[in-house]
Amino acid sequence: MADAVTTAWTPRGSWAGILASGAFGAAGQPGITIEARDGLGIASLIVGEGRVEALAQALQGRTGLGLPVTPRIVSSTSHSLVWAGPDQWHLIATDRNGFDELLRDLAPLAAISDQSDGRATLRLSGPRLHDALAKGCMLDLHPSAFPVGATALTSIAYMGVHLWRIADDPDTGDAVFEIMVARSMAGSFWSWLSASAAEFGCKVTATGRG
């Protein structure tokens, strides 16, 4: 009889093996700062007709956040709610501790899919960020058109992305964006972003698992 084989699986972050902390591109002061946002809890919420108010009350009680009904993101230090279409949202937690319990509590009110290991998210900032994103994004990301709190489902370099703008960098005043892609597209998206941003000089911080 063959001996039993036990395989130990080590969790890996969505950007593991794709990007690493350091600098690349043009020398000097980096024009773009990139942070890998690994370890987030991410879930999609889809609510049926007539159930929005009940879900909104539950989320208000558990996270302290109001449910956005237009393309917006609302955030606290621990959670964010990102509009993802009519009666659809992404619930994001900065820490996965307690996230499963939160989703179980919300399950009677919405169709929920845990996407924590199925999405890859980057936080981007810097004085040359708009120049890099303009190479592949057709949206007008100027502050007058895309203010803090705005979010959009769009494509960058023919890849589907969900992007939103969070509070400006308090030290530099630069706009700060987060971009989320399907994990299966993380390598392709990084290939485009790193090539588009290299001429401006980049600083990369890899966080989380892997």
Cα atoms in the Cβ-side hemisphere of radius 13 Å centred on 69: 4
Give the residue-averaged pLDDT of 35-54: 93
* Distance of alpha carbon 167 from alpha carbon 147, whole angstroms: 9
| pTM assigned to the model | 0.91
Among residues of the chain, what percentage have pLDDT more than 70?
A: 94
Cα atoms in the Cβ-side hemisphere of radius 13 Å centred on 47: 24
Give the residue-averaged pLDDT of 167-184: 96
Three-state SS for 187?
helix
DSSP-assigned letters across all residues of 7-30: -PPPP--TTTTT--SEEESSSSS-
Burial class (CB in 10 A: 0-12, 13-18, 19+), 78: middle
Per-residue pLDDT of 190-201, as tens digits, reads 999 999 999 999
pLDDT at 200: 98
At which residue do the structure tokens 């509590």 appear? Answer: 105
All structural domains of the chain, each given as residue ranges with its CATH number in brackets, are: 22-38+118-205 (3.30.1360.120), 41-114 (3.30.70.1520)
DSSP state of 199: G
Res 50 pLDDT > 90: no
Three-state SS for 106?
helix
Give the residue-averaged pLDDT of 105-134: 97
Give the residue-averaged pLDDT of 180-191: 98
